[in-house]
Amino acid sequence: MKIIPGRSDGPSDERGPTFTGTVLADPVLPTTDEVTINSVFFPPGARTHWHTHERGQILHVTSGHGWAVARDGHGGAIRAGDTVWIPPGEEHWHGAASDGYLVHLAISLGGHEWLDAVGDEDYERGATS
């Protein structure tokens, strides 16, 4: 067993070029036995690129609202209290609504692969489905 302490002082981690917009994250569980948990903040309109997770991912929305959308069009609006299961290998993106922020816990299983950016057209299509 291991107890992982909560947030320490210092800046949040600013996510890099596989995100659109300024996305901030704090680690909750550093990768342990191939499980990684982060608390991720998306300002309005910000989102991930398309990507996959080797063994799947669980998103739990802790506040705000946004979108979780699969390449095949499944998914949709998510809001505080919702939980999303993304199966292994499913191409998807997640992010904030255009008119509000999103904070979710991201519980990622195994590795991940980043793909192309979610363009404005795809974002708007996903965000109205």
- Identity of the residue, 10 or 70, whose beta carbon is nearer to Mn ion in the bound complex: 70
If binding is defined by CB under 5 A, does position 36 make contact with Mn ion? no
If binding is defined by CB under 5 A, does position 57 make contact with Mn ion? yes
In the complex, minimum distance from the CB of residue 113 to Mn ion, in angstroms, rounded to a whole number: 10
- Identity of the residue, 45 or 104, whose beta carbon is nearer to Mn ion in the bound complex: 104
How many residues touch Mn ion under the rule CB under 5 A: the total is: 1
**Neighbour-count burial for 50-84, b at 16+ CB within 10 Å, e otherwise:** bbbbeebbbbbbeebbbbbbbeeeebeebeeeeeb
In the complex, minimum distance from the CB of residue 106 to Mn ion, in angstroms, rounded to a whole number: 7
**Host H or E run for residue 126:** helix 120-126
CA dist., res. 112 & res. 88, Å (int): 9
Which residue number has the CB closest to Mn ion? 57
Residues at the interface with Mn ion (CB under 5 A): 57
